[in-house]
Chain A
Amino acid sequence: MAQTYHTTVGSRRYRFSGLAELMAKATPPRSGDRLAGVMAESAEERVVAQMVLAELPLTTFLNDALIPYEQDEITRLIIDDHDAEAFAPLKHLTIGDFRNWLLSDHATSEALAAARPGITPEMAAAVSKLMRNQDLMLVAKKCHVTTAFRNTIGLPGRLSTRLQPNHPTDDVTGIAASILDGLLYGSGDAVIGINPATDNVAQSIKLMRLMDDVIQKYEIPTQSCVLTHVTNTLEAIEQGASVDLVFQSIGGTEATNRSFGFDLSTLAEAEAAAQTLNRGTVGRNVMYFETGQGSSLSADAHHGLDQQTCEARAYAVARKFNPLLVNTVVGFIGPEYLYDGKEITRAGLEDHFCGKLLGVPMGCDVCYTNHANADQNDMDNLLTLLGVAGCNFVMGIPGSDDIMLNYQTTSFHDALYARRVLGLKAAPEFEQWLAKMQIFQDVSTHRLNDQLPAAFTNSLRHLPKGSD
């Protein structure tokens, strides 16, 4: 009983057979939707679709599930967890009015936070399709999502970083060298997080121990994470490993997640297991999720939806499990899904907006691959825009070059650029540590110490032989 939508522009009659098609055709252009065959066929058709979408009541999305309730546990999660009371102030609005409300002075940070449980991912995706980049930034900046484990992430005026010391063979000295480089450039308050070269339990435990040793020895108010499969981390916990955060890549359909080898019950089990360890000092957010437009189509699990709508549905999965960090790895998937710098930029701003609107602690891996039509200038632009929009965290990697995953993301230097040019700071507990350790001469002006801080001089004496 999918509803058909019609409208006439000039002499031309447009017809959209169903909500999914209307949503897809209203989406700003990107290669993944072209690949899926769901993109608007002309620029005019796209704007017409946006106009039709703008007239739809928000309640449409509560009555017309894009993926049937019976078929998909994420649809069930979205519908079953919808909070009618929080939705009450919005329920008379159309999508077009919703955009006006979000931008209006009625939508204070408090009002936006109160509305969160009443907003579904599809509503967020729909309104984002009508919004310009500046709208996405303005509203996202009003949405404060703060989380905590050993420090506090997402406070207004703060921009945290994930220190990502990946190494192609997980070499201990190589990883430690990148960790040191990052710490001495003020990186690592969101998490020190390693993508292991090999996805197995013993390897993960080795890397967890490596990071935990560093965090304990230097008393760093941050947390560690090995980005291995959730079932590996569960095994590591059973074996008594030092697990701070549990990682998993997630998608917005049940079939996507099944292709990743887990379902919602796995995540519930993982959150509970990590919380029993009680390793957080100022908070109990123990999950780290990564997402990215295109993953559902890539797994052939998109149900005919556009990729941005699938992505927004992943945030329903995320918010169920109280994550410390959610990271849209926006440019990693490649040009089949986001072709160039312009498409990557738009997607990054959409993801950040939708995540924040839904109450997810959103960060962004501002990144690209060597087969995409993008470069460092595109990354500078997106990093700056996300800093303006109040993004919780970005990546930090030596010289922008991930030598394990073979892509480029933001560097330690880039994060300091963003903090300087936008007047942003690290997480408060971490900022105090940076000052105490004399990593900065002056943390408030982002002035680094020209000398090696005393606490680290001794460590360099313990390098393996043959280094001098």
Chain B
Amino acid sequence: MPKQPTQETTAPIVIENPWERLRAFTDARIGLGRAGVSLPTKQLLAFQLAHAQAQDAVHCPLECEVLADELTQALGLSTAPLAVHSRAEDRAMYLQRPDYGRRLNEASRQTLQQAAESGQRFDLAVVIVDGLSALAVQQNSVPFLTALYDAFGRDKNEWQLAPLTLVEQGRVAIGDEVGALLNADAVLVMVGERPGLSSPDSLGLYMTWAPEVGLKDDRRNCISNVRPAGLAYEEAARRLLLLLTEARERKLSGVKLKDRSEDNVLEGGSGSTRNFLVAD
């Protein structure tokens, strides 16, 4: 005999959240609904997929030559970027030995020493580092640097740039060694940040005045989350230029140089500055 459908209850098993439409305003996983107090199966599996993709992103290598070509073309560079490598030979070593990721290997040191033979000083060295997301660097370097070079072009000060450098298996601090070898007064490190579930492509910017090997985080200023769905390239370039200008004036960087860009309150992406929770 076929089973009769039970009909005693119309209450759903999964409770949807009436505020689910707020998801239009954020990538945060809000309004997921619940089974009891737990995640519904659909949401559970969506999370598992995102985690699997992020884990895979950590291990994807930087395509150095492709990026070098793109940069040369987009920025109209007269010489191709310098490609160098940290002391971490591969990703497995990179993940376990951050000290290796902070230093150049011997061949790379020589490459940079040769490039700096003339002894010329530069205002800034720009160093592109794969970090934990080659995807972030691959995708954001060209548009961000295009915006930054535009900003330099419009600035009242002149900016002498050292040769652009690409680093494989590198961490933020490796920029200090590069900047010192290239005789640069300041260094900008553009690094792939650790991939998040919703943002495998986030680029971080770190600026140090008077770079040298062995500096700590308190000497760096950071602008984070540069990517299409995060901080816009033009805004990131504008804020970086303000930081650089102040660093050059005061000859310092890090916690002593607060981020004081005139309009330094981020406006966010929703186009609203009003907090709907307290609107009357």
Contact = CB atoms under 8 A, between A and B. Distances in A.
Interface in B1-52: 11, 15, 17-19, 21-32, 34, 37-39, 43, 47-48, 50-51
B259 to A, nearest CB: 4
A463 B276 contact: yes
Given A259-B217, A406-B199, A452 B266 contact: no
Contacts of A4: none
A170 B29 contact: no
Which range holds the interface residue count of chain B? 35 or more
Contact of B197 (A167, A168, A401): A401
B162 interface: no
B254 A370 contact: no
B37 A448 contact: yes
A388 interface: no
Contact of A179 (B15, B50, B198, B277): B277
A371 B132 contact: yes
Most buried by B among A210, A259, A399, A462: A399
B168 to A, nearest CB: 16
Interface string B262-280: 0011111111111111110
B193 A467 contact: no
Contacts of B22: 177, 180-181, 460, 463, 467
Given A259-B217, A464-B274, A198 B28 contact: no
Contacts of B194: 334, 369-371, 406-407
Interface string B87-102: 0000000011111000
A173 B225 contact: no
Contact of B15 (A168, A177, A450): A450
A197 B231 contact: yes
Most buried by A among B30, B50, B225, B273: B30
Interface stretch (B53-61, B75-83, B140-148): B53-61
Interface stretch (A57-65, A97-105, A199-207, A273-281): A199-207
A300 interface: yes
A413 B38 contact: yes
A261 B254 contact: yes
Contacts of B229: 168
A464 B272 contact: yes
Interface in B81-130: 95-99
A429 B23 CA distance: 30
A116 interface: no
B216 interface: yes
Nearest to A337: B98
B195 interface: yes
B139 interface: no
Nearest to B31: A181
B251 interface: no
Contacts of A467: 21-22, 24-25
B78 to A, nearest CB: 34
B202 A406 contact: yes
Q: Considering the complex of A and B, which 6 residue pairs feature the smallest CB-CB distances, nearest first? A: A399-B29, A171-B268, A406-B196, A261-B255, A462-B279, A174-B26
8 contacts: A169-B225, A178-B30, A181-B19, A181-B28, A299-B217, A400-B47, A406-B196, A459-B278
